[in-house]
Each structure stands twice: as C-alpha cells, then as structure tokens.
C-alpha cells in the first residue's frame, strides 16, 4: 500500500510511538483493544498517519511482539551478564530485576500469554522466549553448583512460580514479598546469606547491593 501524502499538524510520530501506545492498550485491555482509530486518538494524529510506518495491523502486531521480547527479557539478560560468572551474584541480579519493578512489566507478560491463546505467531514467540528465560535460570543454578536435573528443576520452579504469581494476579504487600526473599533463596539455592537480615530495609538493601 502506498503511503498517503499527508502531514499531521500536531507532531512527527515515530514508529516507536505507535508501539508504546499499543503496549499500553494491550496491557490494559488486551490485543482486541488495539485498533488504528484508538491509537491515532491517543497520539493526536489522523488514522492515515499509521500507514507512514505500517502497511497493515499485522506489522504492528509483530512490532509489539518484538517490543515485548526486548522490554521484558533484556533487563534480566543484562543484569545476569553484568553479575559475571558467580552463580550467587547472578541469582541476586535476577531477583533484583523482579524487585525493582522499573524495567520488567509483569502485566505485559500476562497480556502476551492471553494473546497467545488465540494467535499462533504469538504462541510461537512466547514459547521461544520462555524457553530462553528458563535456560538463563538453568545456567544460574549450574553456576551455583547444581547438576543436570537439579538445575533444570530449580529453573522451572523459579520461573513457573513467578509466572503463576503474575498470571493469577496475586496481590501481595511489598513488605511480605521482601520478607519471603530469604526463604526463596534458601529453598532454591541452598544458601542462607539473607536469613540473618531482620528488617525489610535490610533485605532490600542487600538485594540491591549484591
């Protein structure tokens, strides 16, 4: 489809602007809430502006899938890589990303999983990404000294328990989440490094600094 010869009087909209607007919608209302008219209204442009960047909605959908992969997986990859080869530091880096809640968006995962039920391409992307995430965790537990099946079981438990919390939309006070971290760490890694910490602030500071 040829791009329409239009100029929006509001501002020059970039491709990423459409993706960001679509991300907010899919998190709030699911993929069925996304349409060109609604996106254009959010961005303050005409519906024709959409076709400067996309030929059809499927291209936008693919941009959303790729945005999700990067936004909700890269923070873990970056943190784990920065932790070096020490398994404990890698594990704490993983926990730190979950705790800070400033990059990873659990609701985005939920939206993609919901979408995957009715869309083959999204289901394929979801499966591939989750396989990658579990493999990341398996390598962490290998670095912690666990072998073979023990490492993969711990990786699955770690990932699937977190996924379950998100999918069930469990509402848990932040204080409780912090208090539970030393126990999760002990159960999953066998280490008691956090068990001596008495307050939620001590636990929070420990996670951020290790």
Give the pLDDT score at 6: 43
CA 9 to CA 16: how far, in whole Å?
A: 19
Distance of CA 121 to the CA centre of its chain: 18
In this structure, are residues 50 and 42 in contact, taking their beta carbons and an 8 Å threshold?
A: no
- Kindly state whether residue 65 falls inside one of the protein's structural domains: no
8-state DSSP, 47: G
The domain of 101 spans: 70-209
Whether 137 and 81 share a structural domain: yes
Q: What is the pLDDT of residues 138-162, one digit of tens each?
A: 999 999 999 999 999 999 999 999 8
On whether both 15 and 83 belong to a single domain, the answer is: no
In this structure, is residue 107 part of a structural domain? yes
Residue 188: strand, helix, or coil: helix
The reported pLDDT for the residue numbered 210 is: 79
Q: How large is the C-alpha radius of gyration of the chain? A: 20
Q: Per-residue DSSP letters for 124-157?
A: HHHHHHHHHHHHHHHHHHHHTT--HHHHHHHHHH
Q: To the nearest whole percent, how much of the chain has pLDDT over 90?
A: 77
Residues 6+ apart with CB under 8 A from 51: 1, 3, 4
Mean pLDDT, to the nearest integer, of 126-147?
97
Same domain, 145 and 86: yes
Pick left, alpha or beta for residue 43 (phi over 0 → left; psi -120 to 50 → alpha; otherwise beta). Answer: alpha
Q: Is residue 162 part of a domain?
A: yes
Count of domains forming the chain: 2
User: pLDDT by residue (tens digit) across 80-121?
Assistant: 999 999 999 999 999 999 988 789 999 999 999 999 999 999
């Amino acid at each position: 489809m040829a791009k329409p010869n239009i100029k929006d009087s509001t501002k020059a909209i970039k491709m990423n602007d459409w993706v960001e607007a679509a991300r907010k919608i899919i998190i709030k209302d699911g993929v069925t809430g996304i349409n060109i008219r609604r996106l254009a209204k959010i961005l303050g442009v005409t519906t024709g502006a959409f076709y400067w960047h996309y030929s059809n909605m499927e291209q936008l959908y693919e941009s959303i899938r790729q945005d999700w992969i990067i936004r909700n997986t890269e923070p873990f990859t970056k943190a784990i890589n920065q932790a070096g080869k020490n398994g404990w530091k890698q594990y704490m880096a993983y926990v730190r990303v979950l705790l800070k809640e400033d990059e990873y968006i659990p609701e985005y995962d939920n939206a993609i999983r919901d979408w995957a039920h009715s869309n083959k391409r999204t289901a394929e992307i979801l499966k591939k990404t989750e396989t990658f995430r579990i493999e990341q965790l398996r390598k962490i537990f290998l670095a912690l000294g666990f072998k073979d099946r023990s490492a993969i079981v711990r990786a699955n438990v770690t990932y699937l328990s977190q996924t379950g919390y998100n999918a069930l939309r469990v509402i848990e006070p932040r204080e409780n989440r912090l208090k539970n971290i030393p126990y999760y760490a002990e159960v999953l890694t066998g280490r008691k490094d956090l068990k001596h910490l008495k307050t939620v602030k001590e636990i929070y500071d420990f996670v951020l600094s290790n």
